[in-house]
Amino acid sequence: MANVIVRPPWHLPDSAVTPESVYHRRRDFLRAMGFIGGGLAVGLPALAQSTNLAKATAFSAGKRNPDFNPTVRLSDEEAATHYNNFYEFSTTKTRVRDLASRFRTDPWTLEVNGLCENPLKLGLNDLLQGFPHEERVYRFRCVVAWSMVVPWSGFPLAQLIAKAKPKAEAKFVAFTAVLRPEEMPGVVRLPDYPWPYTEGLRMDEALHPLTMVATGLYGKPLPKQNGAPVRLVVPWKYGYKSIKSIVRIEFTAKQPSTLWETLNAQEYPFESNVDPQVPHPRWSQASERVVDTGERIPTQYLNGYADLVAKLYPKRKV
Ligand code: MTE
């Protein structure tokens, strides 16, 4: 069974997938024309009509960081933006995009508070322009054993934490997603869930340079279904740790509760590191299905980032 290739409904043959080099040539062209991250975009009538003009002008994907550019093939953008987990909208991955289309992501305020010297209230422009953005290609592994490889734009969470100046007693970082039942049909359909969606990290995990605040995907502002306007990306942990549409970051002394851990601590524990040797109580984590090709590949310890983060988990023998 392990070698059977499961084709999802939106499967594209490899021949239809944009090779990475073509994707970059196309981006270079668009940037030269002023469509990506440039001032010229302001003058273009097509963009001027865009309801997202403020975001389109402020967002800059940043240069790709060569240190985070695995030699594996990028997942197809269509798959990454049409196959989403965002339970506030729907538990059906292929419906999230449509159901999120009326979700308001501008204006936005991200509050940073709790045990820190310098609490912050960051608006969209503070997030987009107050931190130098770069692009990083990360592997992304969901707990239910699908995976993809995508280019995120953003900055290390450590930079934001530094601005807030956490106190010595702050040992954890708690994250809270926006909750607007009037715009989020999934919340209404799941009244027993402990909303809002919450997540958390240990302080050393939050400060690790791999941990990223993302505002973009594939060189564009984050699509709503992928967590606009600002989300977390923790590539060595199962995807549910990467909380979308964040409105609050709080420094705490105690380990914060999280939505998934509250629902089922045995199946979705706080730590949730990708580990092929630790099966989920209901399925193996030894392999994963690549979302756009359906190929099944072995899962790597810490999702392939063991050289960078294994030292955070000295008790686990590699
Ligand atoms: N964040 C919020 N607010 N709500 C969610 O339901 N789902 C998580 C995570 N962040 C989720 C969330 C899960 S289970 C996964 S696998 C990833 O988002 C999926 O991210 P993607 O849709 O961008 O691939």
Residues 293-305: pLDDT tens digits? 999 999 999 999 9
Cβ of 285 closer than 6 Å to ligand 1, yes or no, is no
pLDDT, one tens digit per residue, over 247-277 is: 999 999 999 999 999 999 999 999 999 999 9
- Give the residue, out of 77, 86, 103, 141, with the most ligand 1 atoms within 8 A of its beta carbon, to mutate for a pocket test: 86
pLDDT > 90 in the chain, percent: 80
CA of 85 to the centre of ligand 1 (A): 4
Residue nearest ligand 1's atom 5 by CA: 86
Task: Indicate if ligand 1 lies below 6 Å from the C-beta of 142.
Answer: yes
Nearest CA to ligand 1 atom 19: 85
CA gyration radius, the chain: 19
Nearest alpha-carbon partner for 115 in 20, 203, 214, 2: 203
- With tokens 């269509």, the residue in question is 78
Question: 45: CA distance to ligand 1 center in Å?
Answer: 34
Pick 171 or 30 by higher pLDDT.
Answer: 171
Task: Tell me the CA–centroid distance for residue 24 and ligand 1, in Å.
Answer: 26
The mean pLDDT of the chain is 86
- pTM listed for this prediction: 0.84
* pLDDT tens by residue, 229-238: 999 999 999 9
pLDDT above 70 covers a percentage of the chain that reads: 82
**Ligand 1 atom 23 nearest Cα:** 226
Q: Which domains does the chain have, with CATH numbers?
A: 22-312 (3.90.420.10)
Structural contact between residues 202 and 216, judged by C-beta atoms closer than 8 angstroms: no
Q: Report the distance separating Cα 173 and Cα 51, nearest Å.
A: 34
pLDDT at 108 exceeding the cut of 70? yes
Which tokens in the block code for residue 227?
A: 């967590």
User: Is residue 241 lining ligand 1, measured as CB closer than 6 Å?
Assistant: no
Average pLDDT over every residue of 112-141: 98
How many CB atoms within 10 Å of residue 263? 12
Integer Cα distance of 179 and 132 in angstroms: 28
**Residue at 228: amino acid letter:** A
pLDDT at 248: 99
Whether 155 and 243 have beta carbons less than 8 Å apart is answered as no
CA atoms of 126 and 131, how far apart (whole Å): 8
Residue 124 has pLDDT above 90, yes or no: yes
pLDDT the model gives residue 7: 32
pLDDT for 26 equals 38
CA of 46 to the centre of ligand 1 (A): 31
